[in-house]
Amino acid sequence: MNEINRPVVRPRRLRTTPAMRELVAETTLRPGQLVLPLFVGEGLSEPRAISSMPGVVQHSRDTLRKAVVEAAEAGVRGVMLFGIPTTKDAVGTGATDPDGILNVAIRDVVEEVGDAVVVMADLCLDEFTDHGHCGVLTPDGRVDNDATLAAYAEMALSQAAAGVDMVGPSGMMDGQVAVVRAALDAAGHTDTGILAYGAKYASAFFGPFREAVDSSLQGDRRTYQQDPRNGREGVREALLDVEQGADIVMVKPALAYLDVLRHVADALQDSGVPVAAYNVSGEYAMVEAAAANGWIDREPAILETLTAIRGAGADVILTYWAVEAARLVR
């Protein structure tokens, strides 16, 4: 303060006009940083609404094609595909079937958009198993880490043969990235990338996603997904994935773990490895429900949410708002 009690330093000078605020903005949000998760249901002739995720659907193969074209035209540069089969079994056979819904969807999308969009696919068994777990079970019902790794390797090869650009191992099995990388390289798929779910927490915010994929989960996933109380563990997991050959590492969920996202981004700052974050179904549903009740202003809340994730260190954001957000920021 000066001698007449007026402030000398006035940070508000940099907030005076929209142009000024834009000029000095620390965090930018671009369409090309966004990835759209998409669900495709086997045998569907038209989209099926997901009640807990207003505006999100299980696509038919035809509407999936239209959705990826719409995303590309909006400037979104990635899609993450999840397949929903009509039949499931104990070992998730449909995940590796070349004619299974996920592999067919990969081929459809690659054919539709080519190199305009990075085509990613979830690499996990949970959508394909009748027990809903992310891996193969032992006779006493535990998830068998190493048996699951063999299944993941086979699934990665199926997706690569279908033309996927990046596989997304999400099951949180120890060693999953190393096994997938070795399998891809041995088969000549050296250009197929890995977006590793490095820090994935056993979160209550996954609830709507379970409806989206018709989950058959029995019990919970706390023996392999991370304990929400452990932040350092998330950084450790991400660093291990980088050591094993991950091209991008991801934190999931995003909003409840912005601290972990920041720590992972800082730890990888000098590595050149991009960091992604998944703005998950529960986070999406909360904003949509509050906006529908008139409690918050929907579009600003969407942009604030995504900007916060970017500001915490995400280079890439998976979000169900990808197309809408891309249009808003443009």
Contact 194, 167 (CB under 8 A): yes
253 prior amide bond cis, ω within 30: yes
Q: Is 72 left (phi over 0), alpha (psi -120 to 50) or beta?
A: alpha
Tokens 């590309």 appear where? 72
Residues 6+ apart with CB under 8 A from 301: 287, 290, 291
Residues 6+ apart with CB under 8 A from 210: 217
Residues 6+ apart with CB under 8 A from 156: 123, 167, 169, 180, 183, 184, 189, 192
CA–CA distances in Å: residue 172 to residues 79, 213, 255: 21, 18, 20
Q: Which amino acid is at 313?
A: G
Q: In the numeric block, which tokens belong to residue 7? A: 């402030």
d(CA 328, CA 330): 5
Q: Which residues are tagged catalytic? A: 200, 252
Contact 270, 201 (CB under 8 A): no
Q: Which amino acid is at 105?
A: A
